[in-house]
A and B are shown apart, each in its own frame.
Chain A
Amino acid sequence: MRYTTLVMLCDSTGQLKSMLINHYPQLKIEPGQNWFQILNPSDHEMAQHTFLNIASQSEAMDVEFVLNFQQAAIPVFLYGNRIADAVLLKAESELDDICQYYSKIEKLDADTISKIRAMYEGKTGVNERDPNYIRFLEDLSRVNNELITYQRELNKKNAELAKLNELKNQFVGMAAHDLRNPLGIISNYTRFLIEDLQNSLDDTQKEFMDIILSTSNYMLKLVEGILDLTYIQSGKIKLTLQRFDLDVMLKDFVPLQQSLAKRKDIQVVYTGLMTELWVEADSVKIRQVLSNLIGNAIKYSPANTLILIQPLVQGSFVTIKITDQGPGVPEADLERIFEPFQKSSLTLNPDEPSTGLGLTITRNIILAHHGKIWVESTMGKGSSFFVALPLAKD
């Protein structure tokens, strides 16, 4: 059953004012609370009587009060829902009605009312049933749906690409492996021929043989680089970790590089720290890294210069700094040179070709050791390559 009471209540302007200021747009008075506060105190007895009267007649009860105001007709609706033994009262008013109230009853000017309107809108946010607002939310959902659908597509494509990349690595690995042996044979047999025929070859023939040897050696180096890289990129890099003193290794290793540098009268100098530098690393691969970096330094340095190798201990890392007096690396190339097949834009001596794989392999080996590698350079003055490796824990 539903009852509607249209009773002329006393002027509740004061209560209305308080309600609008404190509770717009909805005022819920939970069971047990004093819902009479909305009404003029003179109406309390009558309102209570009305409720009790209706409640005694019906178990299910909805009551609607319409509050009338004597000064102006501002509709405020009180809904009464009987829930168990309590009555839930709800009062509602519309923003437009509130503005009318302020203009008619409070007699405020339009400017003030527009400020009040803004305040209410700010306080209550947006109207959830406003078609523009709903359209806005739907548009947001649409865009969001599209974004996540593209993201799904992207992830799926990424997985496909990763699989294709793995296949590519396998293919390149197999191809390079099969090329390595015949290239090795060409290189070795050319060297034998040069040695055996060195007295019977004329200058042109000797030059041709030298070209065959250097070209096949370059190809061999390239194929080995590709093999190394595909192995690393397939995630198959396996480190044989052992504890060793990097200082001892460098003291042994650097003089071996001196022989390569001799041809250009370059001096390679290691400055130790007078301290042990224990690391837990793959010593073969660390030698490969050092050989690569020192080899590059020799390759790019002009004759009669110095290459300095210095260890530095910083926190839990030991950093090896390899400084040359070469032409330097342009700033745009500082990151790029670590990418496969990317060489510095500086032209290199044609007698010392680069495969463009050495620094990529070097970086991957260092990253596999949880280390870091970077370069600092000043054009015309030289470059410093830094390799940081974690020091072994006690």
Chain B
Amino acid sequence: MDKEQRKNLSQTILNKKDLVSDLTLQGHFERKPMFTHRYNPRQLELCRKDILYNLSFLAQAIELDSPKLFEAYVRWLRTFLNHIGVLIPDVKDNFISMEQALLGQVSENEAPEIKSYISLALNVLEIYDSEDPSYISKANPLRIEANTFLNHILAGERHKASEMILNLVRQQESIKSIYLNILQPVQHEIGRLWQTNQISVAQEHYSTAITQLVISQLYPYIFTNVFKGKSLLASCVSGELHEIGLRMLSDIFELEGWDTWYLGANMPHGDIVKTIQKKKPDIIALSTTMTYHLSLMEDLIALIRSSGIQTPIMVGGYPFNLDPELWQKVGANATASDADTALRVAFKLVEAV
């Protein structure tokens, strides 16, 4: 399928997602009649919502021709659902019903694409591989501090958490090292603990808020106003609330002498373009965590370019780490998997200009 056809198929899935989710549920119950009495109305609604999520991820992966994205999503889903007690065979049944529902809504030419993605999902669900280990690795030079910090934030001890980090700063530990060896892996670890149902969504949000608080207390050390002449403008795409990764990247650029403008989460695209035109940065960094925001990323980059802005654009976030070629598909100039790589990439991009 060419790009246009994939975009059309993706659009069909999104346009018909309500109907497809209803048909999926219907098919699911036809296949397993005893399930009909298992769900109360609220549970039915939740199940329907999960199907809508699956369809969003599927549509996005098809549009960007990225089976890797869908594979990663299903793997993530399998871990998550398994940990909250949903049986994997049920999930498989659900995907099979979704396939049937979708096949009734797409053309004959499009059917093989749907079948190949669902078959990929069923294969992933079949595998019982070991789960991701802790993100605080044994090779981490600050692993003891990272684990202590994690324990403080999971216990809701925000004062202890921030005091511990500020003490490290007083003991001359570099801010960059604190970011890369404590704050970043601990944020990843919190995500893993939530995914594996070891902490609640409220705890996950609270933990992120504590990390944000700690970062805000590091700001007086970060902003020294000593610039080496290069500037960066960083923003999440519209609707994206996961911002802490890009924030850390911006702060590390600032520490390295870049003048940075960090616009934050959920920024309207028109405002991003206006700010770029006003500030004229040397590099633009855009981020998304949720795979289903990738189309918005593509739209944003197209909007920036159609506004006559030729500044190099670097993209990053979870989906770009899953599919190393994705940055090209959204129209960016480069990607980087972490802040250190981003610094190197940014220098190269600036030199090339």
A residues with CB within 8 A of B? 2, 4, 6, 26, 60, 62, 64, 66, 73, 75, 77, 79, 81, 90, 92, 94, 96-97, 125-126, 128-129, 131, 134, 137-138, 140-142, 144-146, 148-149, 151-152, 155-156, 158-160, 162-163
Contact = CB atoms under 8 A, between A and B. Distances in A.
B200 interface: yes
B274 to A, nearest CB: 16
B34 A4 contact: yes
Interface of B: 34, 37-38, 40, 42-43, 46, 49, 85, 87-89, 128, 200-202, 205, 208-209, 212-213, 215-216, 219-220, 222-225, 241, 243, 247, 251, 254, 262-266
Nearest to A144: B209
Contact of A75 (B37, B88, B262, B263): B37
B225 A94 contact: no
B292 to A, nearest CB: 15
Contacts of B224: 159
B46 A129 contact: yes
A160 B225 contact: yes
B201 A60 contact: no
Contact of A141 (B49, B128, B205): B205
5 contacts: A97-B40, A144-B212, A145-B264, A159-B224, A163-B225
Contacts of B241: 138, 141-142, 145
B87 A81 contact: yes
Contacts of B43: 94
Given A6-B34, A128-B200, A158 B88 contact: no
Contact of B223 (A6, A62, A131, A155): A155
B38 A148 contact: no
Contact of B205 (A6, A73, A140, A152): A140
Given A159-B225, A163-B225, A145 B219 contact: no
Return the 10 tightest CB-CB contacts between A and B, nearest first. A149-B264, A155-B219, A159-B223, A2-B89, A159-B225, A145-B265, A148-B212, A151-B216, A163-B225, A155-B223
B223 A79 contact: no
B220 A94 contact: no
A142 B242 CA distance: 9
Contacts of A148: 212-213, 215-216, 247
B88 to A, nearest CB: 7
Contacts of A145: 212, 241, 243, 264-266
Contacts of A92: 85
Contact of A146 (B34, B128, B264): B264
A18 to B, nearest CB: 20
Given A145-B266, A159-B224, A137 B34 contact: no
A155 B222 contact: yes
B214 to A, nearest CB: 10
